[in-house]
Amino acid sequence: MAPEVEGRGMSVVAGVGSGRTAVVIGGASGIGAACVDRLRTDGWRVVVGDLVAADGVLPVDVTDEAAVAAFLDAAVPEGGLGLAVVTAGVSTLARVVDHPVEEWRRVVDVCLTGSFIALQAAARRMDAGGSVVLLSSLNASAPGTGLAAYCAAKAGLDMLVQVAALELGPRGVRVNAVAPGLVPTPLTAPALDIDGIEDDYLAGMPLGRAGTPAEIAAAVAYLADAGWVTGETLRLDGGAHLRAYPDLVARVEAAFGM
């Protein structure tokens, strides 16, 4: 999957129905925004965290423990957090021998450490029945040239999901992840504009098409209420995990004469 948006802010969207409270970190656009819409439709009261500034939005850095704690306290002042969806993430593209260490640390800090911080803080505020859904990626299991940091971070996130599910299960708190393949969003658009990249992705998908944010959101909604599912990473990639991952670096180098 191409990298998803990094979420670091807050706004409140009132849901209907039961009044259950969910937080979606990274919910201003793309997959995160689709999750907000789906959860609101399903009756959740949703508090959205994201980097994008807007009326009523307060920034919250997923890599900052105090900021995440403050965000969650503001989101659920009376307790009763039922669901946390964490879609924060960034990526970079560089071959291993050329990969700046500071970029490696930035990607791992947001995608893996940031997800850990958000998971930890959310779980501390959940009672039995609570659920956490993290955003993994096809790249957790499919290596891609130029994506060493992203692949490593997402692979680590999948194991984080399993360990957290093992530890939190006795408390009745579930932890799962969704792992999308190619989903066009505003963030993935620049990569897909490079000649040949989208064709390479689609050639590797038995179903022959990209996914949609709404399809990922439907899976998140399922995991939110799937009371006997925990420790799972649900792959949503049109079957792309069955075939070789495209060589993104080669396409970039060809496009820019590198």
**H/E element, 256:** helix 248-256
- The phi, psi pair for 107, rounded to 5°, reads -65, -45
pLDDT tens digits, residue range 128-154? 999 999 999 999 999 999 999 999 999
pLDDT tens digits, residue range 59-72? 778 999 999 999 99
Cα gap 168→123, rounded to integer Å: 8
Query: In whole angstroms, how far apart are CA 103 and each of 91, 100, 116, 258?
Result: 9, 5, 19, 20
Cα gap 173→131, rounded to integer Å: 6
Superfamily in which the 11-256 domain is placed by CATH: NAD(P)-binding Rossmann-like Domain (3.40.50.720)
- The phi, psi pair for 20, rounded to 5°, reads -60, 145
Tens digits of pLDDT across the chain (258 residues): 433 433 433 333 333 334 489 999 988 889 999 999 999 999 999 999 887 756 548 677 899 999 999 999 988 877 689 999 999 989 999 999 999 999 999 999 999 999 999 999 999 999 999 999 999 999 999 999 999 999 999 999 999 999 999 999 999 999 999 999 999 987 788 888 889 999 999 999 999 999 999 999 999 999 999 999 999 999 999 999 999 999 999 999 999 987
Positions annotated as catalytic residues are 150
Cα gap 87→35, rounded to integer Å: 10
What are the b/e assignments for 147-159, b being 16+ CB within 10 Å? bbbbbbbbbbbbe
Q: Does residue 234 sit in helix, strand or coil?
A: strand
Domain boundaries, the chain: 11-256
CB atoms within 10 A of CB 118: 29
